[in-house]
Amino acid sequence: MSEEKDIKTETSENTGEAPRRGRGMQKPKRRGCGFCMNKVGYIDYKDIGRLKKYMTEKGKIISRRQTGLCAVHQREITNAIKRARNMSLM
């Protein structure tokens, strides 16, 4: 009976999962919003070069966690990308 428990714990440890963040590991430092730092007032839907940075190759909008934008600017980027798509600029 005890041998079965040992086997189960060994197989669950070797599943190939990513290691969990332990006591000594720290969260990566969060970078600030690029638009807030540069004090950009308006995100223009006609500025295709800037909007393409926030899209994947397939055309999906990249999430806020990956871009590092604040919530306000992420919403503005999303609306600008949708407008550009609607106007057939992208």
Give the residue extent of every domain in the chain: 30-90
**What's the token pair of residue 57?**
């190759």
CATH code of domain 30-90:
4.10.640.10
| Mean pLDDT, residues 52-70 taken together | 93
For the whole model, what pTM was predicted? 0.65
Share of the chain above pLDDT 90, in %: 49
Which band of pLDDT confidence, cut at 50, 70 and 90, is reported for residue 18?
Answer: low
The answer to whether 53 and 88 have CB atoms below 8 angstroms apart is no
